[in-house]
Structure 1
C-alpha cells in the first residue's frame, strides 16, 4: 500500500512514508458499515486516513438527535484538529457509511520531536499544520451556513460553497436528503418544501444528489 499520494504525505517519498509509519506505531484497520471507527473523547489521540469507503463525523445530542459535522471520502484525513481529549467532544464519533479501511497513526508519536532530526518528519509536521489550516477554513464555512436564519438561506449558502469547491454550477452533493437536513440542522420535511419552492422560483434544479444552480 502506498500513502505518499495522500495530502498528509505531500513531498515525502514512499520509502520515507513506510519508515515513519513504522516509527509512529501505525496500523490498518477494517470496519463494517454502521460501525464506529473512532470516539473523539474516549480514545488515545490519533491521526487517521480513510483509505477506502465513506464515513461521517456525527454528534449526538442529549435528546437523541444527531448532527452530521462532516462527510469523509477516501483519502480524507481525520483527527488532525479534533484529536484532543476534551469534554466538548464526548458525543462526537466517526461512523462508517460503508465498509471502510483506515490507517491509524499515533498522534503523540507523530508530533514529538524526532531524535534524528529527519527532514521527512519535519515535512510531515508541516503537512499536519497545513491540514489544520484547511480544516479550520472548512469549519468556518460550516459556521457560515449554520448562521443563516432561514432554511432557504442555509440551502443556498451550502450549494454556493459546493459550487465553488467543485468549480461548476452543476455538482453532486455527498449527502442524501435526510443527511443534508441533519447537516444543516433543519427539519427534513420543511427542507424538502423549501427545495421545491426554490425550484419553482427558478433558483435551482435537482435530480437526486445532483444540483444545478440557475
Structure 2
C-alpha cells in the first residue's frame, strides 16, 4: 500500500496529513485495494453505495442512464480523484449513477462510516480527515451547480466557453480537459458533430485554439 502514498498525498481527502499518520489512518479506515478491468462496473445504478473510492491508477466514468438505456457522462475520475462520497454521505439506498472503469484501473475503497466517526482516541488527523471530506462535498456541490448552469445555456458556443472557463480562466492559459470529443459532447448534452463544427468555427473566429483535449482561450 505504501507504493501509492505519493498519489494519496495529492488527494484532497488526505490534505495536510503526514505520511506516518497516513499509514496509521489507512489501517483505521480498513482501506482495501482493488484492481478492475476496462468496462468493469464498480458501482451499479440501483445498488446501495457502501464505500467511497479513491482512484489510484487508470480512469473511471460516472454515468447516468435514462429509462431507454441511453447513458450520459456526468463526470470523469482521474488519478487521485474520489468517487461515491456524496452518495454515501447522503445515505442513499439506490445509487442514481453507475461507476464504470474506462481503462484498467486500481482503486482504494474506504468505509464511509469509519471516516465520519472518529476512533475512540479521537486522533487529531481523523478530525482533519472529516474537515477535508466536508470541503470535498462542498466543492462537489458547486461543480454540480456549474454543470447545471452550463447545460442550461441556450447556445453551444456559450456552453463550450462556460465549460472551459470553469477550469480557471486566464487569457492564453493552456487548459487540459478530461474528455475526448465524444465524451465532451455527452457531458454538454449536445450532438458530437455539432460540437466539432462549433469548435472549428470558434477557432476560425479567434476565440479558442485546441489540439485534442488541450485548449486555449484568447
| TM-score between both structures, scaled by the size of structure 2 | 0.87
Q: Does 1:185 align with 2:157?
A: no
Q: Offset of 1:116 from its aligned partner?
A: 1.5
Q: Please, which moves more after superposition, 34-43 or 138-147?
A: 34-43
Give the Å deviation of 1:104.
0.2
Q: Which residue of 2 aligns with 1:89?
A: 95
Q: Which runs of 5+ in 1 are unaligned?
A: none
Where does 1:144-155 land on structure 2 (aligned, <5 Å)?
144-155=149-160
Query: Are 1:126 and 2:131 counterparts?
Result: yes
8 Å contact 1:42–1:85 — kept in the other structure?
Answer: no
Match of 1:11 among 16, 24, 37: 16
Please state how far the C-alpha of 1:163 moved relative to its aligned partner. 5.0
The 3 A distance-change label for structure 1 pair 168 and 76 is: farther
Deviations 1:21-75 (A, max 9, x none): 2222220000111211223641343221111111111111112222111111111
User: 2:32, 2:109 within 8 Å by CA — same for their partners in 1?
Assistant: yes
1:69-115, CA deviations, whole angstroms, 9 ceiling, x for partnerless residues? 1111111112221224537733x111111111100000112212422
Any conservation in 2 of the 1:40–1:82 contact (CA below 8 Å)?
Answer: no
Q: Report if the CA contact (8 A) 1:163-1:169 is conserved.
A: no
Q: Classify 1:104/1:168 alpha carbon distance in 2 versus 1 (closer, same or farther; 3 Å).
A: farther
Residues 98-139 of structure 1: per-residue CA shift (max 9 Å, x gap): 111100000112212422221111111111111112212222
1:104 aligns with 2:112: no
Match of residue 175 from structure 1: 179
> TM-score, with normalisation over the residues of structure 1?
0.89
Structure 2: gaps (5+ residues) = none
Q: Which residue of 2 aligns with 1:36?
A: 41
RMSD between aligned residues: 2.1
Distance 2:171 2:84 in 1: 27
1:206 aligns to what SS in structure 2?
strand
Q: Which residue pairs with 2:211 in the alignment?
A: 207
Partner-residue secondary structure (3-state), 1:89: coil
Tell me the equivalent position of 2:166.
161
Q: Paired residues, what number?
A: 212
Counterpart CA distance in 1 for 2:165 and 2:204 is 18
Change (3 A) 1:21 1:41: farther
* C-alpha distance in structure 1 between counterparts of 2:78 and 2:172, whole Å: 20
